[in-house]
Amino acid sequence: MPTRLSVNVNKIATLRNARGGNNPNVVQISKDIEKFGGQGITVHPRPDERHITYQDVLDLSETVTTEFNIEGYPDKRFMDLVLKVKPTQATLVPDPPGVLTSNAGWNTIKNHDFLKEVIQELKASNIRTSIFVDTDLAHIEGAATVGSNRIELYTEPYACGFKTNKEGAVKPFVLAATQANKLKLAINAGHDLDLENLRFFAKNIPYLEEVSIGHALISDALYYGLENTVQMYLQQLDI
């Protein structure tokens, strides 16, 4: 089966918030993404609600018909929201409050006890769990040890190295995915994947279940239109 495409709609909320009101409408655009073939909707609410708001998450929980993935740092407010909404998947990201965007994976060894407790709570509510990690094999093993269902590979290093040495850039991710599969962890990926580098990544990474793409896809939609852009990304994954 081709890798599934989950579209992160944070940038839609960023555009809306720049003007106020409800244009563009996050809920309607999420419905459209699903209609155009998107296989999931991802959101990443942050404490300052500078893009996706907590109310957006509640609204989307009533309308998303594909897989709903909520990303974020698992503080009390985030956990309360996720346990209320009960999405398909909760992706745990080690973002401090003021960070602009996700820029590193978890140290699952240092944060073992914290992550294990959080994951147990999520699993008790039948929520699939994923941990945002780098390609460090010890941290991937740590993700298995704390009981996560999946990992999400942080792909910015791949995207940065792709133009100059794509084989070298993808190699650590191949090794990481192979190790994750041995540990019975399913594999997601995301961050800076785009129409230029996505096909090569998906073709080379074994056992890749899902990619989460937001910034590049929404930016491309300004040129190609949303329906066409969703189809273009799905074509990159149809290998």
User: What is the DSSP annotation of 176-197?
Assistant: HHHHHHHTT-EEEEESS--TTT
For the chain, where are the E strands, in sequence order? 4-8, 40-43, 67-72, 89-92, 128-133, 150-154, 186-190, 208-213
Contact partners, residue 158, CB within 8 Å, separation at least 6 = 169, 170, 173, 192, 197, 201
Catalytic residue check, 49: no
**CA 95, CA 98: separation in Å to the nearest integer?**
8
Query: What's the CA gap between 227 and 125, in Å, rounded?
Result: 34
Location of structure tokens 């897989």: 67
Among 69, 66, 63, 73, which Cα is nearest to 86's?
69
Phi/psi-derived region of residue 72, left when phi > 0, alpha when psi is between -120 and 50, beta in every other case: left
Active site residue 191: yes
Q: 112 catalytic, yes or no?
A: no
Q: Which of 34, 44, 67, 139 is catalytic?
A: 44
Among 167, 95, 157, 93, smallest CA distance to 130 is for: 93
If we measure between CA atoms, which residue out of 62, 20, 3 comes closest to residue 201?
Answer: 3
Q: Which of 34, 51, 139, 191 is catalytic?
A: 191
| Active-site pick, 34, 67, 71, 210 | 71
Query: Which residues are part of the catalytic machinery?
Result: 44, 71, 191
